[in-house]
Amino acid sequence: MISPNPFGDFRKACEKALEKSFAKLLPHVSLEHHMLDAPPNPEFGELSSAACFELSKKTEGVKPRKLAEDIVRAIDVESFHLIDRVKVAGVGYVNFYSNFTELSKTTIDSVRALGETYGSVKTDKPQKIIVEHTSANPISPIHIGQGRNPILGDALARILEARGHTVFRHFYVDDVGRQTAVAAYGYT
């Protein structure tokens, strides 16, 4: 399978696994998002969900740990080739471990097939973004701190454009203040 974002595919598989188990166990309860994040320790897998804490509030006193155990039992790991195993941790976290062999194979095959375009992942929701940078003092010599900002600002704008966002660059000249007034007064 070729993909510009294999780890994104793993994340989507984890989301789908959670959705299916929620639909099986709690069809009457809705959850806006699954709260998948990287756990603080790699021993807890590649992704972790804290959804059981939010679900616990909606299920009238069912403990998060009990919900997590039920959810893990309801997930059919065999139907997701990128998921190796799912475990309960702590007081109610659901931890997902990737099938490292399959994820590595997909990643290497994708890099070979896609070449330079590998990793160029477009956003699902393009936005209009303003990147404001470079506020250099016009009457003093530019120094490394002021020279760094245009490079970082423009690089960030280009990365956002590559992701599919509409980017507007704003550059402001720092022309307000006593030194500018003195320079203008001295010029006249």
Mean pLDDT by 10 residues, the chain (188 residues): 91 93 83 81 93 85 91 94 95 95 95 90 92 77 79 94 94 67 67
For residue 59, what pLDDT is reported? 80
Nearest to 10 by CA among 128, 102, 138: 102
SS3 87: strand
> 95: helix, coil or strand?
strand
State the pTM of this model: 0.74
pLDDT of residue 8: 92
CATH of domain 6-103: 3.30.1360.70
pLDDT at 71: 93
pLDDT at residue 124 in the model: 87
Residue 167, SS3?
Answer: strand
**Six-digit token string for 36:** 């998948």
30-35 long-range CB contacts below 8 Å, 24 or more apart? 31/55
Domain-wise residue ranges, the chain: 6-103, 123-187
> Residue 96: what pLDDT?
97
Tokens for 98, please give them.
Answer: 């990737």
Its sign, for the CA torsion 122, 123, 124, 127, is negative
Cα–Cα distance, 160 to 181 (Å, whole number): 37
